[in-house]
């Protein structure tokens, strides 16, 4: 978590900061774009991607509270920030991976995925041990 606090100064956040600064200053004051970026990055790092779960974590999880300086953006603001800055956030992930590679934390290579569909016999009825059929079968299966 503290790594991300230091990392935010190393990242190029221009794609996020410039549109946020160009907004009309009248109206409700928004959350700091750096904080919102950190919030999403940390949420992704710990496996929390839902804006509602991130909102809840801002109340309950100490790490989220530290990253947000004890501010609690609601899920609609988190979701809207993510939607507006989706392209910039994907570029940030690439920047973070390159910084981690420089620091020797990860090694980057090629990853290939095969999308071949394989038919399998994984039905619960196929895996049932028929010697125990009468003893533990569901009521609908017993006759």
pLDDT reported for residue 138: 57
Residues near 92 by beta carbon (within 8 Å), at least 6 away in sequence: 11, 13, 37, 41
Report, as an integer, the average pLDDT of 17-45.
78
**To which residue do tokens 């609609």 refer?**
76
pTM of the model: 0.65
Tell how far CA 40 is from the center of its chain: 6
Rounded mean pLDDT of 3-12? Answer: 76
Of the listed ranges 69-78, 99-108, 130-139, the one predicted with least confidence: 130-139
- pLDDT bucket at 4, cuts 50 / 70 / 90: confident
Measured distance between the N- and C-terminal CA atoms of the chain, rounded to whole angstroms? 58
- Domain range annotation of the chain: 2-102
Instruction: Work out the burial of residue 136: count CB atoms within 10 Å of its CB; fewer than 13 is exposed, 13-18 middle, 19 or more buried.
Output: exposed
Least confident of 31-40, 49-58, 84-93, 122-131: 122-131
pLDDT per residue over 111-121, tens digit each? 666 777 777 66
């Amino acid at each position: 978590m503290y790594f991300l606090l230091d990392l935010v100064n190393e990242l190029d956040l221009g794609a996020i900061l410039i549109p946020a600064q160009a907004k009309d200053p009248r109206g409700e004051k928004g959350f700091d774009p750096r904080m919102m970026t950190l919030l999403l990055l940390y949420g992704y790092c710990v496996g929390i991607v839902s804006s509602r779960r991130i909102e809840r974590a801002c109340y309950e999880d100490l790490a989220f509270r530290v990253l947000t300086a004890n501010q609690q953006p609601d899920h609609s603001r988190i979701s809207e920030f993510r939607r507006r800055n989706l392209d910039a956030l994907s570029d940030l992930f690439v920047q973070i991976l390159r910084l981690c590679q420089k620091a020797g934390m990860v090694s980057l290579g090629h990853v290939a995925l095969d999308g071949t569909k394989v038919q399998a016999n994984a039905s619960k009825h196929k895996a049932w041990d028929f010697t125990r059929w009468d003893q533990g079968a569901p009521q609908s299966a017993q006759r």
